[in-house]
C-alpha cells in the first residue's frame, strides 16, 4: 500500500496522466473505510466495479429473483451516501457509477457500459492485429471476445457488423423481458452485458447483480428526489 500511495501521489502531480482509480468491490472490506482510503490518493475519479460474474458463476437460473439479498447494493449505497453528503470546499471526487445513474435518472444518456442503454462504441485491437470485443467478455466463456477479424484484412465497419458487436448496439431491444417490465430497467440497462450471461442461453437475461442494481438505482433516485424537494406550485 505505501508503494501504491506513493505512485498515485506522483501521478496526481501530472493530472494529464492520471485518469483515476478502478476499485473492484470486496464485500469483506468496509465500504466507508475503502472509500476514505482512496481519497488521500487524490484521484480525479473513482470507478467502483462489480466483480465479473454471471449466472453460471453462481449456478442459479437467470431471472429477477425477489426478494433477494443485495450485499453489493448495500455496499454501494453506503459509499454513495458518504460521497453525496460530503461537505468540503472543493468538489468531491467523481464516482462514475453514481454520476451515470444520477444522469440517467435525470434523462441524460449513459456514457459507460455498466448501466444505461447507450451502444458500446469500442473494440480492442490486440498486438497481433486481431480485432476483439471488450476483454471483460472473456469472463463469460472461452473465446467470448473473439471476432475472427484482423486489422490487416478487415475494416472497423466490418467489426461493427459482427453479430457480437451488433448485439451491443441494440439498446432496449437487447433486454430480457424481465428488464423491459422493470421500473428501473432503462436506467440500469440490464446491467453490464458480461454479467447477463447464462450458459446455454446467452446474454439476454438480467444481470446476475439485478437486485443489487435495483437497490442502488432506487436509493439514488430517492436521494435526488429528497435533494430537489417538492416542486414549486405553478404561478
Sign for the pseudo-dihedral over CA of 222, 224, 227, 230:
negative
**Is the residue at 86 inside a domain?**
yes
Overall number of domains in the chain: 1
Between the two ends of the chain, the Cα-to-Cα distance in Å is 58
Which residue stretches of the chain have pLDDT < 50?
Answer: 231-235
Query: 214: closest CA among 66, 110, 108, 85?
Result: 66
pLDDT at 202: 92
Query: 142: closest CA among 204, 208, 197?
Result: 197
**Is the residue at 120 inside a domain?**
no
CB environment 151-163: b (16+ within 10 A), e (fewer): eeebeeeebeebe
E-only strand ranges, 50-174: 94-95, 124-125, 130-132, 146-150
**Is the residue at 38 inside a domain?**
yes
Cα–chain center distance at 11? 24
Domain range for residue 33? 2-109+208-228
**Is the residue at 59 inside a domain?**
yes
Give the three-state DSSP class for 49.
Answer: strand
pLDDT at 233: 40
**Is the residue at 82 inside a domain?**
yes
Give the three-state DSSP class for 199.
Answer: coil
**Is the residue at 217 inside a domain?**
yes
pLDDT at 235: 33
Task: Tell me the whole-structure pTM to 2 decimals.
Answer: 0.88
**H/E segment holding residue 163:** helix 163-166
**Is the residue at 70 inside a domain?**
yes
**Is the residue at 148 inside a domain?**
no
Amino acid at each position: 500500500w505505501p508503494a501504491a500511495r506513493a505512485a498515485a501521489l506522483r501521478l496526481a502531480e501530472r493530472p494529464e496522466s492520471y485518469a483515476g482509480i478502478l476499485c473492484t468491490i470486496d464485500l469483506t472490506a468496509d465500504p466507508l473505510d475503502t472509500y476514505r482510503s482512496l481519497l488521500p490518493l487524490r484521484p480525479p475519479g473513482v470507478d467502483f466495479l462489480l466483480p465479473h460474474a454471471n449466472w453460471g458463476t453462481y449456478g442459479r437460473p437467470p431471472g429477477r429473483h425477489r426478494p433477494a439479498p443485495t450485499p453489493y447494493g448495500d455496499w454501494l449505497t453506503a459509499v454513495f451516501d458518504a460521497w453525496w453528503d460530503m461537505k468540503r470546499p472543493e468538489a468531491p471526487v467523481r464516482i462514475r457509477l453514481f454520476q451515470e445513474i444520477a444522469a440517467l435518472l435525470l434523462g441524460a444518456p449513459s456514457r459507460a457500459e455498466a448501466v444505461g442503454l447507450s451502444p458500446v462504441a469500442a473494440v480492442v485491437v490486440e498486438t497481433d492485429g486481431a480485432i476483439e470485443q471488450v476483454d471483460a467478455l472473456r469472463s463469460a466463456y472461452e473465446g467470448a471476445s473473439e471476432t475472427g477479424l484482423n486489422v490487416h484484412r478487415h475494416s472497423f465497419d466490418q467489426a461493427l457488423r459482427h453479430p457480437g458487436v451488433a448485439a451491443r448496439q441494440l439498446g432496449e431491444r437487447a433486454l430480457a423481458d424481465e428488464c423491459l417490465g422493470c421500473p428501473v430497467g432503462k436506467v440500469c440497462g440490464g446491467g453490464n452485458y458480461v454479467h447477463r450471461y447464462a450458459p446455454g442461453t446467452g446474454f439476454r437475461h438480467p444481470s446476475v447483480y439485478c437486485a443489487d442494481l435495483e437497490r442502488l438505482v432506487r436509493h439514488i433516485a430517492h436521494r435526488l428526489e429528497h435533494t430537489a424537494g417538492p416542486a414549486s406550485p405553478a404561478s
